[in-house]
Amino acid sequence: MGTADVEAVWRIESARIVAALTRFTGDFGLAEDAAQEAVAEALVSWPRASPANPAGWLMATARRRAIDAIRRRAALQARYALLAADPALDQEIDPDRIDDDVLALMFVSCHPLLSREARVALTLRVVGGLSSEEIARAFLVPVSTVQARITRGKKAIAAAGVPFELPPVGERRQRLGGVLSVLYVIFTEGSTATSGDRLLRPDLAHEAIRLARTLAALQPDEPEVHGLLALCELTAARFPARTDPDGTPILLEDQDRRLWDLPAIRRGLAALARASRRSLGPYCLQAAIAATHASAPSVEQTDWARIVRLYEALGRVAPSPVVDLNRAVAVAMASGPVPALAIVDELIASNRLPGSHLVPTVRGELLTRLGRLPEARADLELAARLCANQRERSVLLGKAAALS
């Protein structure tokens, strides 16, 4: 067995191993270190002799490394001395408990006391089983930066004495929202890269989908979990049509809808159906918007009035200038550019999206439709200056140039 085999088993087992070890030791940082040591050992020993039960080997080795660490620390701290004598460490994984432990692991990794970057890095490494190198590649940052975020995150959790348990019922919804937002940050970075020379990083988006599927399996009664999964599936279903072979973005109206991933659309619609119809949380509403697009044969035949209503509802439950901007786009499609321009100009007057390339992008499009070409061109050029994604920028400059 080679490196790829070790990584494969680790991808499947990491969350369960770290969760079980954190349960045994009560120390998330120690558990994660011990699990990483086990992976490092596997990379050395598996190529020489393949274990009969790779998953069991990883768990047993990680547990031994955790015990070693506890014994070393026991000499220094009374807390670990008690733990070193605790027979719980020799127990097997309790199948009735492991699901809650994996869930608790997601809550710890997405704890509100951590920075957003630390939450993303910890979730991908600990729950998703990615290496620091893979995370660094996905986010275009140095490996040392990812490692520092993980180390600082583990220290912050230890220093705050965050208990390894499911959040109390009163806080559960809000904390779950925190987990969902971390998964969505990972997804959006994959679906619209904020920097770099590629628009899409589909593998990163699919990591988020995989984590959302796990969360949906562990929290089947939470509508917003299914809503997030639906939103991600429906958005990712359009990836094959969103860029041309060179990686240049293709706008929704120009996309070849035959390239949309129909099974992914079906999975997205099924996830949306599992989210209760009465629950109108922000992810369910966004998924409903994505579902309206995914079910339409063309831009012209899209139910834009429904999309306007969904954006209005979204603006009520999760007010945001980006939602207003998207509503303006939908209003333009449903009722024409004039009422849409009023929404955009209101956004500009209140300066609610300063520095965003999206506002002048939309305004430029609306002005183009109104025939106010010099103004449209100025807005599109401004948008290009503000845009950090090179692929999007060249599309904007192309549009501006076409107006002269």
Whichever of 7 and 312 has its CB closer to another protein, that residue is 7
Whichever of 11 and 369 has its CB closer to another protein, that residue is 11
Smallest separation, CB 169 to another protein (Å): 23
Residue 101 binding another protein, by CB under 8 A = no
Rounded Cα gap, residues 99 and 83, in angstroms: 23
Residue 263 binding another protein, by CB under 8 A = yes
Whichever of 54 and 337 has its CB closer to another protein, that residue is 54
Rounded Cα gap, residues 255 and 364, in angstroms: 21
Report the 10 Å Cβ neighbour count for 261: 18
Q: Residue count at the site for another protein (CB under 8 A)?
A: 28
Whichever of 214 and 302 has its CB closer to another protein, that residue is 214
Smallest separation, CB 363 to another protein (Å): 34
Smallest separation, CB 233 to another protein (Å): 10
Residue 203 binding another protein, by CB under 8 A = yes
Residues 185 and 378 sit within 8 Å (Cβ to Cβ)? no
Which residue from 119, 238, 267, 363 is in contact with another protein, where contact means CB under 8 A?
267
Residue 8 binding another protein, by CB under 8 A = yes
Which residue from 5, 41, 345, 375 is in contact with another protein, where contact means CB under 8 A?
5
Which residue from 27, 189, 207, 324 is in contact with another protein, where contact means CB under 8 A?
207
Of 9-17, 19-27, 274-282, 368-376, the segment contacting another protein by CB under 8 A is: 9-17
Residue 117 binding another protein, by CB under 8 A = no
Of 159-167, 255-263, 348-356, 384-392, the segment contacting another protein by CB under 8 A is: 255-263
Which residue from 179, 200, 209, 358 is in contact with another protein, where contact means CB under 8 A?
209
Rounded Cα gap, residues 188 and 282, in angstroms: 15
Of 78-86, 193-201, 207-215, 347-355, the segment contacting another protein by CB under 8 A is: 207-215
Smallest separation, CB 218 to another protein (Å): 7
Residue 102 binding another protein, by CB under 8 A = yes
Whichever of 5 and 41 has its CB closer to another protein, that residue is 5
Which residue from 25, 214, 219, 361 is in contact with another protein, where contact means CB under 8 A?
214
Rounded Cα gap, residues 404 and 237, in angstroms: 36
Which residue from 26, 178, 240, 249 is in contact with another protein, where contact means CB under 8 A?
240
Nearest to 103 by CA among 229, 228, 218: 218
Which residue from 198, 213, 257, 369 is in contact with another protein, where contact means CB under 8 A?
213
Smallest separation, CB 226 to another protein (Å): 13
Of 41-49, 260-268, 363-371, 377-385, the segment contacting another protein by CB under 8 A is: 260-268
Using CB under 8 A as the criterion, which residues of the chain lie in contact with another protein when the complex forms? 4-5, 7-9, 11-12, 54, 99, 102, 202-203, 206-207, 209-214, 217-218, 240, 245, 259, 261, 263, 267
